[in-house]
Structure 1
Amino acid sequence: MNAITNGLSSARNRAGLSKDDVALRLRVTPERVTQWETGEERPCSETLCELSALYQVLPHRLLLEQSDTIEDEKHTPGATSPELADFRRELVAMRDVELLPLDDETIEYCVAALHSRLVGEKSHNK
């Protein structure tokens, strides 16, 4: 199961909704909800926004939900802190739901800039 499918099912469960509830509110079949949650089909950006409103979760957060069954993503080269990995993951998720028009190079630049800032703050605090 990948991050988006796990995020969708986790968010639905936390919202206390069944697949039938979601299907009824979004005017789709319960089978369609199952396809989204199993990864057979990926919901479009508009549907992700509808799901986020229904689950009361920011759209890009649906892409970030994790559980013990998900393998940890690779850390950015040179990035040792979990904060940087989380920052990168969030940027990628926001791009995936079209909230930010970023390419991979720009994302890596942002992560490197944050890394430099964190290193500078650590050395300043010593």
Structure 2
Amino acid sequence: MLWLTRIIVGAVFLMNVSCALAFILQPEKYSPGFEVAGVPGMIYVQGMGILFLMWNATYPLVIFHPIRYRVLFVVVLIQQAIGFTGETWLWLTLPSGHSPLHATGLRFMLFDGIGLIAMAGAYWLLRRHRCHANL
């Protein structure tokens, strides 16, 4: 169960970091999806990439040992839930006429929702396995 948890959290981490690096290194590819342009748009997208890296600073210890760092694992789950909830709220309140933002928001929601479900499932299985091992 430990390795399955590491693989799931590691996969979400790698996807997050790859997205962060793409935003930082090639912001011009992603700024249209946020309806921003020029230098301000590039800086905005790069800033989001930096925020993604900050958000993922908690993942490596959880990947290393999800049982030992189970409190940090809960923090990771809370971060993911906040991201998914916030993205969903933004998407639901987005006025019509913003197709690029709508599509971008949907992609974020899908990825973060799937990541949250996968990591919460891994956490639950790990806790369940650990409880049965202690009987």
Range class of TM-score, shorter chain: 0.3 to 0.5
- TM (norm. structure 1) is 0.35
By percentage of residues, which structure has more helix?
2
- Higher RCO by CA contacts (8 Å cutoff, separation 6 or greater): 2
- TM (norm. structure 2) is 0.34
